[in-house]
Amino acid sequence: MTVYAKYEPCIMYVKTLNGLSLNGAWLMQLRLYGAWMLAAGVAFFFTGSNLLQYPNLLLSIYLFGGIAVILYALIVQRHNFTFVPRIEVTAQTFVLAFTMALALVMVKDALAQLLPLPHWPEVSFTAIETGSLFGIIGSVMIAAFMEEILFRGIIMEALLQRYSGGIALLQSSLLFMLAHPDPSQMPGALLLGILSGFFYLRLRDLCMSFLIHLVNNVAVAILLLNDGAVQFSHLDPKTYYGIVTGCVLALWAGYVLLVRCTRNIKTHASLSRENIRSKAVLFSE
């Protein structure tokens, strides 16, 4: 008689048996837009005024839309999504995620200087809000957790069931960028999506993705609380570009280290695709 112990990874992720097609992933993004428009329409009906006057209300609409789409995916079992809220953090990956997230903030600032895209306040409700305690908690912590569950936990994980890691990373990052429709936010959102998604691709663990997103949001919030915004470019040009170069090198070094330390890790998804129970306990009689 042969008995196999079921392999259960001790990580935070969203199980899915069916995966998502590219059309399904973009349809989920359209549902997100639809939830925003519905909530904004209801809010405008009751207030009858410019919603930009109510930043907390705009933040609530954004959070409502994301949470609604997540609940829809988890409750309507078309794709068999199941959230597994386990936590496992190693010191090595924690330091890598924390350091690379901070370095990315500086690189995003430099990119904003090179690409001065227009700012559309009407659709900038995804920005960090520091005007109230609710705004700080909601835009810094809750939004980060919600976005990682949706774009990495659900969309990227489901795409990985059907496509290569590169396609899943690119598509989920593009969708994450489009979830920040203000043009001035898009380049930074794309970079953040790529970094967070790459960690998820290597570890298949939402804990590190959430940490990266949270560190990024906290750093941006601290900068905003200091006199509205701190423009690093006001530093001496040599100092500024020296710091940016150092941050780019830190991101590259972090990439190399992450690849090395995860080279021999077989994730739960690769195990399921290959139908291998490499970590199962085998008993034979």
Give dist(CA 121, CA 257) in Å, integer.
Answer: 39
User: 169: how many CB neighbours lie within 10 A of its CB?
Assistant: 22
Instruction: Mean pLDDT check: name the lowest of 10-14, 143-147, 191-195.
Output: 10-14
HSE-CB of 157 using CA atoms within 13 angstroms:
31
- The answer, yes or no, to whether residue 45 has pLDDT greater than 80, is yes
155 — pLDDT class (breaks 50, 70, 90): very high
pLDDT at 256 (0 to 100): 94
Give dist(CA 196, CA 186) in Å, integer.
Answer: 15
54 — pLDDT class (breaks 50, 70, 90): confident
169 Cβ contact partners less than 8 Å away, ≥ 6 residues apart: 156, 194, 197, 198, 201
99 — pLDDT class (breaks 50, 70, 90): very high
The single-letter DSSP state of residue 54 is -
pLDDT at 250 (0 to 100): 95
- The answer, yes or no, to whether residue 131 has pLDDT greater than 70, is yes
- Looking at per-residue confidence, does 51 or 7 come out higher? 51
Mean residue pLDDT across the chain: 81
Q: Is 101 helix (H, G, I), strand (E, B) or coil?
A: helix
40 Cβ contact partners less than 8 Å away, ≥ 6 residues apart: 51, 61
9 — pLDDT class (breaks 50, 70, 90): very low
Give dist(CA 32, CA 187) in Å, integer.
Answer: 20
- Looking at per-residue confidence, does 266 or 206 come out higher? 206
